[in-house]
């Protein structure tokens, strides 16, 4: 049997194939979102540097933090499970059953306490769920961890974002734009509770807003590029790639905030624009802006633009040609 390379695509394929339970008696075949939400929650812990080693210690502060993130995301993305009692212990244990179909290798591992029985010997009275309660989880398990290879991949920002988008597009793609707009606003509850003007947040709100939310960012990006039909709003470039074994496409366009999030604290979809990599860079670096009265492109005169060959031969449109469009 050929051993597969454990790279980004390998784990993306495993992420989008995690097995999920179904609500008993549900005629709509509503599947549990617990495992995808659990993975998103761990990635957010890493994103915010709240976990520094490949270990979620059951007795550690990272466990408490992870549980809180899981609860928040369940309340946002849980569907029929949204208001159910939080079942955080289920994915913590059950994720060990998701394995590569060719090699049988797990990507999530549990370290049991020394006095605990073997994991396959731990069963409930009916012989089903091995660890049925959170109390039992805390009694038997010392910590959970990823593959070392996956942990290293998750240290890279672009890799994290890619895996988040894979999870969101695979398991939570049925959100409507209005639901997403409401969802994005839930991440700014502190400012809303204090009736803050979005342009003049207090210092405490500024610190709160600096926290990164991988679900919010993924929802924002997916919604904006869909609204713009996967095109750059400036040059109309539309390029999509479908990696092998991945259900979703990746796109050349990004979702940019028209008014910077660090200044406006505005995460609403009306503050988003779809831009290709080149024009996103140019926009962020002040080469052009958007006229808020007629939505035309306003190109700065504070940069130089050169090409080593004739523009006509490459069919390149200079940035300054977009002024007024």
The string of pLDDT tens digits covering residues 172-205 is 876 555 566 666 666 555 434 433 444 444 554 4
Residues 6 or more apart whose CB falls under 8 angstroms from that of 325 comprise 234, 296, 297
CB 158 within 8 A of CB 149: no
Which range of 27-36, 242-251, 294-303 scores highest in mean pLDDT? It is 294-303
Per mean pLDDT, which range of 68-82, 106-120, 185-199 is the poorest? 185-199
- pTM, two decimals, is 0.76
CB 58 within 8 A of CB 196: no
H or E stretch covering 257: strand 253-257
How far is Cα 261 from Cα 275, in angstroms, rounded to an integer?
16
């Amino acid at each position: 049997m050929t051993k597969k390379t454990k790279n980004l695509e390998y784990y993306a394929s495993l992420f989008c194939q995690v097995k999920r339970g179904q609500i008993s008696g549900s005629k709509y075949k509503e599947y549990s979102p617990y495992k995808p939400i659990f993975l998103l929650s761990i990635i957010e812990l890493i994103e915010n540097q709240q976990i520094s080693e490949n270990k979620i210690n059951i007795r550690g502060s990272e466990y408490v933090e992870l549980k809180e993130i899981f609860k928040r995301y369940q309340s946002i993305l849980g569907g029929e499970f949204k208001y159910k009692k939080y079942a955080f212990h289920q994915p913590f244990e059950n994720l060990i059953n998701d394995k590569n179909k060719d090699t049988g290798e797990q990507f999530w591992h549990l370290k049991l306490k020394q006095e605990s029985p073997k994991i396959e010997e731990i069963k409930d009275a009916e012989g089903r769920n091995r660890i049925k309660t959170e109390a039992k989880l805390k009694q038997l398990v010392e910590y959970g961890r990823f593959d070392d290879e996956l942990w290293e991949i998750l240290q890279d920002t672009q890799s994290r974002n890619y895996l988040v988008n894979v999870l969101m597009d695979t398991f939570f793609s049925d959100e409507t734009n209005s639901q997403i707009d409401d969802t994005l606003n839930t991440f700014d509850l502190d400012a809303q509770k204090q009736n803050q003007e979005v342009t003049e947040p207090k210092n405490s709100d500024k610190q709160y807003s600096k926290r990164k939310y991988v679900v919010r960012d993924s929802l924002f990006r997916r919604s904006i590029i869909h609204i713009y039909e996967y095109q750059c709003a400036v040059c109309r470039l539309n390029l999509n790639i479908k990696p092998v074994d991945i259900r979703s496409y990746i796109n050349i366009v990004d979702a940019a905030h028209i008014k910077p999030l660090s200044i406006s604290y505005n995460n609403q979809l009306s503050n988003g624009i779809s831009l290709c990599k080149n024009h996103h860079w140019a926009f962020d670096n002040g080469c052009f802006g958007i006229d808020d009265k007629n939505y035309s492109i306003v190109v700065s005169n504070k940069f130089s633009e050169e090409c080593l060959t004739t523009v006509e031969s490459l069919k390149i449109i200079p940035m300054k040609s977009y002024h007024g469009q």
